[in-house]
């Protein structure tokens, strides 16, 4: 009986090795490829970091990620969540040169950082302090300036 159990155990080990070895090998190869791809991506991002192009791409990505739900993809205040705001509250039209040429970059920055309520606007505009760095929020200000095609006029 012991010989039979030992044979059964050996067969079990052989089957286990035959199953686990290919699966493990595939896992390790895929993991190595994923790590290599991540290195390439990180290297590409770090290589551009600090450049004007990097900052513009970062600002655009942040705008589309954080702002478009209310302000819309073109910045006209027509995002999918715009209609869900309380009555009488409309997201700011970021394409309005008339409005934004009257606002300093710092005023726009403070609304982004501290939210609408702190600036005397609706609290529907949330604060992004803690979610975005100051540099990222400054990037949003620059991106909004591209949407309105305007600068602050005294």
Cβ neighbours of residue 150 closer than 8 Å, sequence gap 6 or more? 97, 100, 101
Instruction: Give the model's pLDDT for residue 42.
Output: 45
pLDDT band at 32 (very low <50, low <70, confident <90, very high): low
- 149-154 mean pLDDT: 87
Q: What is the pLDDT of residue 33?
A: 63
pLDDT at site 11: 76
Taking residues 118-129, report their average pLDDT.
92
The ranges assigned to domains in the chain are: 1-48, 52-148
CATH of domain 52-148: 1.10.760.10
The pLDDT tens digits for 77-102 are 999 999 999 888 999 999 999 999 99
Provide the mean pLDDT of the chain. 82
Indicate whether this model's pTM tops 0.75: no
């Amino acid at each position: 009986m012991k010989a039979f159990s030992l044979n059964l155990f050996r067969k079990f080990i052989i089957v286990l090795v035959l199953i686990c070895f290919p699966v493990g090998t595939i896992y390790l190869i895929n993991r190595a490829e994923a790590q290599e791809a991540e290195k390439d991506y990180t290297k590409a991002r770090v290589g551009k970091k600090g450049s004007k192009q990097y900052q513009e791409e970062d600002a655009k990505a942040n705008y589309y990620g954080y702002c478009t739900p209310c302000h819309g993809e073109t910045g006209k205040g027509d995002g999918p969540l715009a209609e869900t705001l309380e009555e009488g509250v409309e997201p700011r039209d970021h394409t309005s040169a008339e409005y934004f040429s009257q606002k300093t970059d710092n005023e726009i920055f403070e609304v982004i950082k501290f939210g609408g309520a702190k600036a005397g606007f609706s609290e529907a505009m949330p604060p992004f302090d803690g979610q975005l760095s100051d540099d990222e929020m400054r990037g949003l200000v620059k991106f909004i300036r591209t949407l309105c095609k305007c600068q602050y006029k005294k």
